[in-house]
Amino acid sequence: VTKPIRFEDGSLRILDQTLLPHREAWIAIESAERMAEAIVSLRVRGAPAIGIAAALAIAVEAARPGTLASRRERVARAAALLRASRPTAVNLMWACDRMTACAAGGAASPETEAGAWAAALRAEALRIWEEDLAASAAMARHGASLFPDATRLLTHCNTGGLATGGGGTALGVVVELHRRRSEEGRPFHVWATETRPLLQGARLTAWELRNAGVEARLVSDGAAAHTIRRRGIEGVLVGADRVARNGDGANKIGTYALALAARAAGIPFVVVAPRSTLDPSCATGEEIVVEERNPLEVTAFAGVRTAPEGFAAENPAFDVTPADLVTALVTDGGVFRPPADAFTGVDTRS
């Protein structure tokens, strides 16, 4: 299990994901400012991971010496700063909400009780982390049950331990299947897309798969449909950034094309996401606004410019896969079969 965050003896560190896979550098995070910078610059990324990271950064602020009043003020400032660091991330808002609610309760005012109040915030942050690990474990179990025999799967972007508190969503299922096939003494192969423009597949998923001892191969995004058709792929597993009420799912750009390829090949296309990703306020994928990122991410590759100077580019950060292409939606609360109110009755935590 790859945990992207360490919190030992009150000291918080994150693995700098911008340096992976070439260097494994742990950065000490002593303040909310430092964590906000790490989130903005994608040193820590993945919706569940940044929620946990923000909660722990708030706990660190709460533990710094001072009167209870000054600590409360510091925590409020920290939460506001962290929320603003990645405005589209639902889990980040949700984690900051929980920490703020916890900070509002607890000890009344005496300075002697500031320590107990800070300890409560620390416990809440660790609870958020623990809950995420439990959710990952549940998704891995539910997702793996869909593939009792599969030995050849394809995945997109990074949805592993690095993107979460240490378990993973789609990649968590993949690693669980690797474990099961290994126990059964059977081979298991994974194909990972490189995931342009930011190469999370090549940089992060490849690193995690290697660490987990999974037999894996990288393919370019454009090669995925061919690979699915010609290499006997038995299922495509992806994560989600937001799932609408009808089961339409927004996820990393490139996902929709994989869903079309899976449909054409007649194999399952499975979305794996915690309930915190389900958005009951969103009726269909048409309502999801697609974030456009910096075009320079497309006109350059790994820091090297590829297109002619100043050439225009479009850089949608995610796309929306219609529910009718989704074979199953795996959550920590169980497996759903879109379309049509995919997660009716699920506690969505939102």
In the complex, which residues of this chain contact its own copies (CB under 8 A)? 21-22, 191, 193-197, 199, 202-203, 206-207, 210, 216-227, 229-231, 253-254, 256-257, 260-261, 264, 290, 295, 298-299, 301-309, 311-316, 319-320
**Count of alpha carbons within 13 angstroms of residue 68, beta-carbon side:** 19
Question: Which residue lies nearer to its own copies by CB, 97 or 286?
Answer: 286
Residue given tokens 């600590």 in the structure block:
71
| 224 in Cβ contact with 154 (< 8 Å) | yes
Q: Across the strands, what pairs with 249?
A: 243, 321
Min CB(284)–its own copies separation in Å: 14
Min CB(328)–its own copies separation in Å: 20
Question: Which residue lies nearer to its own copies by CB, 218 or 346?
Answer: 218
How do beta strands 249-252 and 242-243 pair?
Answer: antiparallel
How crowded is residue 271: how many other Cβ atoms within 10 Å of its Cβ? Answer: 31
Question: Which residue lies nearer to its own copies by CB, 110 or 213?
Answer: 213
Judge if the upstream peptide bond of residue 21 is cis by omega within 30 degrees of 0.
Answer: yes
For the chain, how far is it from start to end, CA to CA, in angstroms?
Answer: 27
Catalytic, out of 132, 221, 241, 332: 241
Min CB(15)–its own copies separation in Å: 15
Length of the chain: 350
Fill in the amino acid letter for 54: A
- The two tokens of residue 157 are 């972007």
Return the biggest CA–CA distance within the chain.
Answer: 69
Question: Which residue lies nearer to its own copies by CB, 111 or 292?
Answer: 292
Min CB(38)–its own copies separation in Å: 21
For the question of residue 241 being annotated catalytic, the response is: yes
Residues labelled catalytic: 241
